[in-house]
Amino acid sequence: MSPTTLVADSVEASARQQEQRLRQWLLESAYPLWSQRGIDDGRGGFFERLAQDGRPLDEPRRARVQPRQVYSFAQAPGLGWRGPARAIVERGIEYFLRHYRREDGLYRTLVAADGTPLDNSVLLYDQAFALLGLASAQRLLGTDPLFEEAATDLFDTLYETLKRTGAGFCSGLPERFPLLSNPHMHLFEAALAWCEISDDPAWKALADEIGELALSRFIDSTSGALRESFDETWSPAPGAEGRRVEPGHQFEWAWLLLRWRPEPERAAYRAALRLIDIGEQHGVRRGLAIDALLDDLTPLETTARLWPQTERLKASALAASMTGQARYWESATSAAAGLMRYFGTTTAGLWYDRQNAEGVFHVGPAPASSFYHIVAAAVTFKESLEA
| pLDDT tens-digit map of 54-79 | 999 999 999 999 999 999 999 999 99
Q: What is the pLDDT of residue 253?
A: 99
Enter the pTM of the model.
Answer: 0.97
Question: pLDDT class for 175, splitting at 50, 70, 90?
Answer: confident
β-strands 354-355, 304-305: how paired? antiparallel
Model confidence at 224: pLDDT above 60: yes
Using alpha carbons, select from 326, 340, 330 the residue that is nearest to residue 378.
340
Above pLDDT 90, what percent of the chain? 95
Q: What is the CATH number of the domain that holds 110?
A: 1.50.10.10
SS3 state at 141? helix
Kindly report, residue by residue over 23-46, the tens digit of the pLDDT.
Answer: 999 999 999 999 999 999 999 999
Evaluate whether 232 touches 248 at the Cβ level (below 8 Å): no
pLDDT at 8 exceeding the cut of 90: no
What confidence category does residue 2 fall into, taking pLDDT thresholds of 50, 70 and 90?
very low
**What confidence tens digit (pLDDT) does each residue in 269-318 have?**
999 999 999 999 999 999 999 999 999 999 999 999 999 999 999 999 99
Q: What is residue 177's predicted lDDT score, i.e. its pLDDT?
A: 86
What band does 6 get if pLDDT is binned at 50, 70 and 90? very low
pLDDT at 9: 76
Residue-wise pLDDT tens digits, 119-130: 999 999 999 999
Is residue 186 within 8 Å of 162, Cβ to Cβ? no
Q: Confidence band (pLDDT; 50, 70, 90) for 5?
A: low
How far is CA 195 from each of CA 6, 217, 315, 386, rounded to the nearest angstrom? Answer: 38, 23, 20, 22
Average pLDDT (94-123) is 97
Q: Which structural domain, as residue segments, surrounds residue 199?
A: 3-386
CA distance 169 to 79: 34
Question: Could you give the number of structural domains in the chain?
Answer: 1
Q: How far is CA 274 from the centre of its chain?
A: 20
Going by C-alpha positions, the residue among 4, 3, 8, 7 that lies closest to residue 324 is: 8
Long-range contacts of 39-46 (CB under 8 A, 24+ apart): 39/88, 39/91, 39/92, 40/113, 43/113, 43/114, 43/115, 44/91, 44/94, 44/95, 44/115, 45/92, 45/95, 45/96, 45/99, 45/115, 46/92, 46/368
Mean pLDDT of 338-362: 98
